[in-house]
Amino acid sequence: MPCSPIRSAIAQHLAERFTCDSTLVNVAAGDCFLVLGDVYRIMASNWIVLDQYINRELATVEYILEKDEPGFRQLETYLKEMYMHRRRCTKYFELIGEAKQQCHDRGQASWPRSCDQGSEVAAHLAQDLEQDFKYLQTKTQGTAQRTEKNIQLLTALVSIGEGKQALDENHGIGRLTLLAMVFLPFSTVGTILGIQTIYGPGQEAFWVFWAVSIPLTCFILIATFLFNKLGDSFAPSSR
């Protein structure tokens, strides 16, 4: 919200409060924390709204991860958002702690504090506000822990996505290797036999090209298959 509506609301609230209870005027003159207590209440309410906003964002991401299967880029976007929320929760925890300490000390050291009986109202107000900010610290800490769990989950999902992507790339390379393996004997035999014109296309000995290339290709494929089988059999079994 803009500053002016909040300032106007505080001024109106204080005017109504001190008009209804004239004894508070003398107490506020001796202890200004009684006046600023309403400001701390507004601060606490804004921290609650902010914490609820962050938890709503976390719930949205958790729901998407539960119902759908986000892509790799979307997971990275969510992970960056979680890093942002974690950094903000750390800063919010520090700011709430500073406000709690101010309530404990009843404001700055230079603020006037009376020791008469009327000042007990401000002391009770400070204690109540201190407990409120302590509760806010607990909520912020819980939100930070929830964010950390989401970061761990998203990091694991991103790692799984990277593994799947690498596996798909390996499959593509394997298909290209197999294709090259099939055509390599043909090109090799064709190059060797091309030296002699009798083995060229349309010549009487052109059949030699097929008689040599096809068995050689079959031999290479069978040898590769047996090599992979032997490699799998000698591989250590996982327990």
92-144: per-residue pLDDT in tens? 999 999 989 888 887 776 666 665 544 677 778 888 888 999 999 999 999 99
65-105: per-residue pLDDT in tens? 888 777 878 888 888 999 999 999 999 999 999 989 888 88
- pLDDT at residue 140, rounded to an integer: 92
- pLDDT at residue 148, rounded to an integer: 92
106: region left, alpha or beta (phi > 0 left; psi from -120 to 50 alpha): left
Q: How far apart are CA 81 and CA 154, in angstroms?
A: 11
pTM score: 0.60
Q: Is the dihedral of CA 9, 11, 12, 18 positive or negative?
A: positive
167-196: per-residue pLDDT in tens? 766 766 766 776 677 677 667 666 666 655
- pLDDT at residue 23, rounded to an integer: 62
Better-predicted residue by pLDDT, 227 or 152: 152
Q: How far apart are CA 103 and CA 128, in angstroms?
A: 9
